[in-house]
Structures are given as structure tokens and as C-alpha cells.
Amino acid sequence: MPTRSAELADYEWLTGSEAAALLAELAGREEPLHSAAARLRRKLSAARVHLLLEQAELRERAVAKFERAAEMFFTRLGLEQATDQWVAAYKARRFADLVSETRPVADLCCGIGGDLLALAAERPTTGVDRDPIAACFAAANARVAGVSDHVSLETSEIDRLEAGVFAAWHIDPDRRPSGNRTTALEWSSPSADAVERLLVASPNAAVKLAPAADAPAGWAGRCELEWIGRDRQCRQLVAWHGALARVPGRRRATLLSQDGSLMRTVVGVPNQPLSFAPQLDRYVFEPEPAVLAAQLAGALAAEHGLSAVSAGIAYLTGPSAIADPALACFEVDDVLPLDLRQVAAHLRERKIGRLEIKKRGVEHEPATVRKQLHLAGDHGATLFLTKLNGKHAAILARRIEPPLAALTSDL
């Protein structure tokens, strides 16, 4: 039965003790799902049965974002949009640095509370969302996290908010206000104009955006844009304003480990020019996704004295291995023309059966290429399908794993 048939009272029931016992049963069930559903329908409404079954499913999916997912509450959209607990904790530390401020902070469009819980662990926080179901779940999740004493929740439209009462605020605008996803802040809810009004009232702010979003043109010189990556994925873009911006007018790519530890920051200006290598050197490097999203590959290449393998290609090359969390390092074994029959014969000769395929600047799709190579053997390698000096090429290489020591920055 569709979730919309449930009333707010059903969602509030879901966060209570009776539903907790039933959710625990579902989590440990051995019976098929349809049998569990039939059993539950004998004593509960169809709407509440649906909520229980949906919550059991969402909790399983949420483990990738929250360590205590088995106790928390989610909506489908709320889980999809929620900041994971490790990225949220990293962001919240900037709010903790506002030590001279005694006013609370706010999490606007707080959803089920991904950022709210991390902020409340640092200082008193008000969560605001127009959806009473999201606010209900955010309150329940605050109790699970043990921060409910530091959280107050309001169900309200953002344009009715008195932002000046807060020392700083975080906002995650809805990127699907009309049902279709957008990366543009002007088509989000609240809109870019609404966010600007909030900034006038309270200038210390963090605006969460999609990694591919273009920040409003007027922000470039006054805020700091930070792309945050965790576990080799670019998770989000944050526009830091006011006292929360450490390097206004600059860009930052931040890399967190799987457990949220800070591994590396790269700070610079975007699209710094790259030199091009006349020929491929001994090592090939691939900048991390957050570095590429921030358009800081040029700054990273300049730091290490690396060159691009070809114009418009983000692969870098150099004579020595580099242990930097911002760069995946590969030692080159062979360079071949991008002729798949020739490449396949070469891989068979090398008995390569495990192959990581990467591509930039060419139309070949890795999944299609893999089928054409007919891999067999006990050895592994990485295959780059790209351009060298403007010509299509296949680079066979070995991934060099960096040591565990991390490079960090105080900026």
C-alpha cells in the first residue's frame, strides 16, 4: 500500500515502543517477507504494515551511511538525500570553531537529520523542515544518537524563518521540488534568491550542493567551495560563507577515509594550466574524484611536478611513484595502439584475467570492451583507454597502493 495513505499518527507510532519490537522481529526474521506481511496484517492496518516493511528495508540500505542505522528512521527520499555520518561530522567541526558565539546553529531542510545529528553533537541546534514526517523522524533519530537535549525541531517553510537568531546555519535545498532532479540552485527549494535573503540575515552559512552543481556566479569571490570525498567517491559540494569560510575565493578538495578520518586537502584556484608530456613517463596518476570535481587537477599536478598525458585528459604522468591520497598511482608496463584485437592478444600472452578498465577521452565503454577482450589467466592489471599526444592508446599498468600515512593540510 502506498506510504501516502499513512497519516502522521502512523509515522509517530512507527517511532514508538510497539513498532520497535516488531521492527526487531523483522530484522531477525527467517520467514519469507510475504509471510511476515500476512502475519502482521492480522493485527495492524495495511498502512502500518507497509511502514514496517519499508522501514526494515531502508534500515538495511542505510548501513552504508549510518553505523546505528538499525535503530534509526528513514524515508526513501530522506535516506537518499541524507549526508552520511562521517561527512556530516567533518562538516560540523567547522561550526564547532565558532567558539565566541553562544547562539544556537540551525540545520534548514534537515530531513531525517543526517547533518542535524552531527551539528547537535557539537552545539545546540535547531532543525527546520516543512515536512512533519521528516521532522518526526529527525526527532526520533536525535534520541537514538543521544543528542535530543541539544536539538529543537520546527515544522516550517524556510521563508518564514528568522535566521538572525542563529550563529550560523546549514541548508540542504531540495533538488527535486518538481519531481525531477536538478543541480541548479535557482531551481531548488528554497531557491537561490531565498538563500541570498538568509545570508543577508545571518552570513555564517554552509550550503550543501550536488557535486556537479554550479554555484551562483556572485559567490565565487566571497565564499569557499569545498568538494568532499569519502572512500574514493565525491559525496557533495559545500559553499562555506562568512566566518565558516577559511579561504574565501578559493576551492578545496577534501578527502576522507572510509571511517571519516581526514586524509588530504587540496586548496587552489580552478583550472590551473597543465603542461603536456611529450611522451608517457614511468608512472600514470589519476586524481581523486573530489579533486577533479573541484577542477584542481592543475594545482595538484603543479605541486608534484606532473604533466597531463594529453590535452583535455585528466590522467597525469611522472618519473617517480608518489604516495598521496589525492592521487591513484600506476606503474606503466606497456603502451599499445587502441586496437582491441591487439590488446586482447597482448593480455592473453600476459595471462591477465583480472582487469580494471579506465577510460578518458575515448568513446569505448569499459563494459563493452571487457566482453571483447575474452579475459583468462591468474594475473591482474589496469588498462587505461585514453589519448597520448592526441592519439588513441591503451596503457597497461599496475596499481601501486600508497602507504597508510596520510597527507593533511591545516588550511
What are the tens digits of pLDDT across the range 72-82? 999 999 999 99
Residue at 69 is within a domain: no
Domain finish residue from 205, 224, 249:
249
84 and 51, same structural domain? no
How wide is the angle at C-alpha 58 spanned by C-alphas 86 and 110, nearest 5°? 55
The answer to whether the CB of 171 falls within 8 A of the CB of 206 is: yes
What is the structure's pLDDT at 154? Answer: 95
Query: Does residue 260 belong to any structural domain of this protein?
Result: no
Q: State the average pLDDT for the chain.
A: 92
The conformational region for residue 377 under phi > 0 = left, psi -120 to 50 = alpha, else beta, is: left
Same domain, residue pair 136 and 47: no
**Whether 359 and 306 share a structural domain:** yes
Tell whether the torsion through CA atoms of 219, 221, 224 and 228 is positive or negative: positive
The residue with greater pLDDT, 89 or 161, is: 89
Question: Does pLDDT of 405 surpass 60?
Answer: no
For residues 94 and 31, state if they share a domain: no
97 and 222 together in one domain: yes
pLDDT of residue 261: 95
Asked if 393 contacts 387 with a C-beta cutoff of 8 angstroms, the reply is yes
Residue 26 lies in a domain: yes
Beta strands in 319-390 (DSSP E): 327-337, 352-359, 379-388
49 has a pLDDT exceeding 60: yes
Percent of the chain with pLDDT over 90: 80
Check residue 403 and give its pLDDT: 58
Statement to judge: residues 129 and 230 lie in one domain: yes
Average pLDDT over residues 245-260: 96
pLDDT in tens, 191-200: 888 899 999 9
Q: In this predicted model, what pLDDT tens digit does every residue of 199-235 receive, in sequence order?
A: 999 999 999 999 998 888 889 889 999 999 999 999 9
In a domain, 229, yes or no: yes
Alpha-carbon Rg for the chain in angstroms: 25
Identify whether 230 is part of a domain.
yes
249, 275, 310 - which closes a domain? 249
Which set of grid coordinates corresponds to residue 279?
Answer: 611522451
Enter the C-alpha cell of residue 185. Answer: 540552485
Residues 58 and 199 both lie in one domain? no
Predicted confidence (pLDDT) per residue in 361-378, tens digit: 999 999 999 999 999 999
Which residue in 276, 304, 307 sits closest to 407, CA to CA?
A: 304
- Torsion over CA of 138, 144, 146 and 150, rounded to 10 degrees? 10
From 33, 62, 91, the end of a domain falls on 62
Whether the link from the prior residue into 248 is cis, omega within 30° of 0, is no
d(CA 382, CA 398): 6
Q: How many domains does the chain have?
A: 3
Domain span at residue 195? 80-249
**Is 409 domain-assigned?**
no
- 56 plus 84 within the same structural domain: no
What's the CA gap between 175 and 187, in Å, rounded? 7
pLDDT tens, 147-186?
999 999 999 988 888 889 999 999 999 766 555 565 667 6
- The DSSP letter of residue 72 is -
Do 375 and 234 share a domain, yes or no? no
Q: Are 260 and 230 in contact (CB under 8 A)?
A: yes
CATH number where 131 lies? 3.40.50.150
Query: 357, 383 in Cβ contact below 8 A?
Result: yes
* Of 69 and 183, the one with more pLDDT: 69
Burial class (CB in 10 A: 0-12, 13-18, 19+), 218: exposed
Same domain, 199 and 88: yes
Strands 224-230 and 233-241, sheet pairing: antiparallel
Which of these, 266, 257, 276, 354, lies nearest to 315 by C-alpha position? 276
Please indicate, yes or no, whether residues 208 and 156 belong to a single structural domain of this protein. yes
Q: Is residue 366 part of a domain?
A: yes
Using the predicted structure, report yes or no on whether residue 105 has a pLDDT greater than 70. Answer: yes
Q: Is residue 221 located within the same domain as residue 112?
A: yes
Does 276 map to a domain?
A: no
Predicted confidence at residue 308, as pLDDT, reads 96
